[in-house]
Structure 1
Amino acid sequence: MTFVLSRRMRYLLLSLTIGSLAALTGTVYQAKRTAADQAAFPPPGRMISAKGVNLHLYCLGSGSPTLVLEAGLGENVLSWYPVHAKLAQTMRVCAYDRPGLGWSDPIAAAIQPEAVAENLQALLHNAGIAPPFVLVGHSRGGIYVRAFYHRFPEQTQGIVLVDSTHEQSPMHQYPYAAWDYRKQALQILFAEPLSWLGIVRMLGIADADRRPSPLPAEILVAKTAIQNRTDTAHAVVNEIAVMRQGLDPTTPPPGSLGNLPLLVLTAGNLVDPDIVAREAARAGKDVETEKVLAEIQQAEQDDLARLSSHSWHIIVNNSGHFIMQDQADAFVAAVREFVLDMPLVN
């Protein structure tokens, strides 16, 4: 018996064959480039097992309390490069990578802030780094360091929030930035498969130098290599999924920090209405919408500063979201003064 394929079926089979070969080629390309990147850029710190996962911990300096740096969404220890060594001139400073980010091993499931806090505590304990800790959280990291305090208050001597995310930010922002949250939903669907196929790498979507950056070229190259890992895409998707839970109107506000020493650093460029309007017009965005979002940002930062009865709030001028990069000297001076002015803990 002879089978004759229709022209449509032949085209379909040809398309499937070409698609399968392209997917295989992309997967091999991603795997080889990832292996080459791992060989070219070894971890600057040491790998410590914590709760069954190898996490990357990078400590400089000495003394007590230990300053612990918690990076923002999808970021790693290199985001602190401009300030890490400078702060370590007068104190011990430890940055680390959450699971799947930087040089840390991945985990399958998304984790809540409380679990992030427990992982961090286990990491510090297993590394032989004793409390007290002053926790520094940038962006999404601000939620994680507050979770650490609520889980381990006796180990926390103070907190620094660096343009920190507010737990209810998604709910506050959504009516004015619905499209951004729809894009997040698309990222959750497609980021990891596109990374597996090498498409994220080939298109430079995750490259660290896609926007002007004060980071040195060699740091940007290393950061790009790390961010192009499929493990990184998986971790970022997980973090975004947890962050989007803040869209729920029942999301509770940030918890009180009592009288814990608290320093809140706010990016001046993101709350100055004139700067916001000018940048919105330059980027072709709706000026009035961006001004409303800036007002929300200012209100949230003020709210965070009220979490403690022993707080300082500094608006850092001429700085975007990455204050520790845009205004490294001002950042170091403010954090150093904050730590030096703390009461001694026995």
Structure 2
Amino acid sequence: MKKIRKIIGFCLGGIISILILATLVVIINHKIHLGKEDVLVKPMGQMVSVDGHNMSVYTEGQGNTTLVFLAGGGTASPILDFKSLYSRLSDKYKIAVPERIGYGFSDVADVPRDLDTVLEEDRQALLLAGLKPPYVLVPHSITGLESVYWAQKYPKEVSAIVGIDVGTVNAYFDPSTPKASDFIAKIKILAFAEKMGVTRFIPSMVESEAAIKAGNLTAHEKDIYRAIYYRRTNTPPMVEELVDLMDNAHKVDALPPPQLPVLFFISNGDGIGLGYSKEQWQGFQISYLSKIANSKYVLMDYGHYLQDFAPDVLAQKIKDFVPAT
């Protein structure tokens, strides 16, 4: 019996030793790669200080009309994610991409992610970068809430909204929508694994990012995106945005829909990951637009990241919708 116990103990000790060794290999490999990638992770735009934290604001382009691109939740590099689209617009418009706390080149910080805080940070960042309103807001996905709230609170600052497959309040309130709490725990586990560097051994994850898979990035820009991805995937602020999602949706719903020119590009629902049918997903956005008099929408048979899958189509229709001055 003692011999069996010794064998079992020896086996368990061996398994534990292997796990510890494997963990150390993963962590050390991640640290080595982070050091090598430092040269790639240099801010592409201005860095401004907002409430004691550095925020990245990228700008380019000509014209007096400013398009402000607001990235969807969890997008590692907003600047590079939107590049395929805004590079087709910067000949006629001023382009601005503010990167929220926890995204891209901005700091990762323990700060509230309620809609008022996020909105005020973006407003300050744009002003500090020398960009004055009014703006044409171009939100993607989750930032549909922020853009609508912006127009509700500060109507003189928003001249139009061009939504790229945005989440609308009726989508978040629909009974079929999964509760954020149902997947936040899973995301936190994934975030821990990513922080350790486990995802470096699963290259298909970063290669499946729409900007890399379908966007018009150069080889060097893809390398930059990969380097950012391993630093800015499921960061604490990104997770906190999900925690606050329903409260933020209620804030938007408590105010009337803004009455201003609105154009929505609506995908076929692929890549959202919430289990909606194509008809459901498109119906949420179409139904919300029915409350806004001066609104239009374009149905597209592409996945959620339309800015990467169909930038030519989006660029032309934005030019048709937003007068360049």
TM-score bracket for the superposition, by shorter chain length: 0.7 to 0.9
Write out aligned runs for 1:285-304 (5 A).
293-304=277-288
Residues 126/214 of structure 1: CA separation in 2 closer, same or farther (3 Å cut): closer
Give the drift of 1:236: 3.4
Write out aligned runs for 1:163-202 (5 A).
163-172=165-174, 174=176, 182=182, 184-202=183-201
Distance 1:230 1:92 in 2: 26
The yes-or-no answer on 1:330 pairing with 2:313 is yes
Q: Could you state the TM-score of these two structures normalised by the residue count of structure 1?
A: 0.79
Distance 2:297 2:218 in 1: 32
Specify the alignment match of 1:124 in structure 2: 126
Aligned Cα root-mean-square deviation (Å): 3.3
Distance 2:172 2:157 in 1: 30
Judge conservation of contact 2:113–2:237 (CA < 8 Å) in 1: no
Specify the alignment match of 2:162 in structure 1: 160
What one-letter code is carried by the residue in structure 2 that aligns with 1:296?
A: Q
Residues 109/6 of structure 1: CA separation in 2 closer, same or farther (3 Å cut): farther
Task: Kindly provide the CA deviation profile for residues 98-117 of structure 1, in whole angstroms up to 9, marking residues without a partner as x.
Answer: 11111111012451222211
Residues 206/258 of structure 1: CA separation in 2 closer, same or farther (3 Å cut): same
Residues 100/325 of structure 1: CA separation in 2 closer, same or farther (3 Å cut): same
Judge conservation of contact 2:99–2:105 (CA < 8 Å) in 1: yes
Number of matched pairs = 315
Distance 1:231 1:99 in 2: 12
Distance 1:67 1:48 in 2: 19
Specify the alignment match of 1:308 in structure 2: 292
Task: Kindly provide the CA deviation profile for residues 244-291 of structure 1, in whole angstroms up to 9, marking residues without a partner as x.
Answer: x3799x787474334222112212x34xxxxx8xx9xxxxx9xxx97x
Distance 1:143 1:67 in 2: 17
Distance 1:30 1:300 in 2: 41
Judge conservation of contact 1:110–1:241 (CA < 8 Å) in 2: no
Specify the alignment match of 1:104 in structure 2: 106
Q: Could you state the TM-score of these two structures normalised by the residue count of structure 2?
A: 0.83
Distance 1:252 1:49 in 2: 27
Residues 298/125 of structure 1: CA separation in 2 closer, same or farther (3 Å cut): same
- Aligned to 2:54, the other structure's residue is in SS state strand
Judge conservation of contact 2:289–2:296 (CA < 8 Å) in 1: yes
Task: Kindly provide the CA deviation profile for residues 192-227 of structure 1, in whole angstroms up to 9, marking residues without a partner as x.
Answer: 210122112221264044674243352433222211
Moved more, 68-77 or 35-44: 35-44
The yes-or-no answer on 1:64 pairing with 2:35 is no
Task: Kindly provide the CA deviation profile for residues 286-318 of structure 1, in whole angstroms up to 9, marking residues without a partner as x.
Answer: xxx97x622221221112313432222222x34
Write out aligned runs for 1:237-276 (5 A).
237-243=239-245, 245=246, 253=253, 255-267=255-267, 269-270=268-269
What one-letter code is carried by the residue in structure 2 that aligns with 1:335?
A: I
Mind listing any 5+ residue stretches in structure 1 that lack a counterpart? Answer: 271-275, 280-284
Judge conservation of contact 2:193–2:199 (CA < 8 Å) in 1: yes
Residues 148/31 of structure 1: CA separation in 2 closer, same or farther (3 Å cut): farther
Mind listing any 5+ residue stretches in structure 2 that lack a counterpart? Answer: none
The yes-or-no answer on 1:216 pairing with 2:217 is yes
- Aligned to 1:340, the other structure's residue is in SS state coil
What one-letter code is carried by the residue in structure 2 that aligns with 1:234?
A: P
Task: Kindly provide the CA deviation profile for residues 15-56 of structure 1, in whole angstroms up to 9, marking residues without a partner as x.
Answer: 444433333332232233223223124222121111211111
Moved more, 91-100 or 107-116: 107-116
Judge conservation of contact 1:263–1:311 (CA < 8 Å) in 2: yes
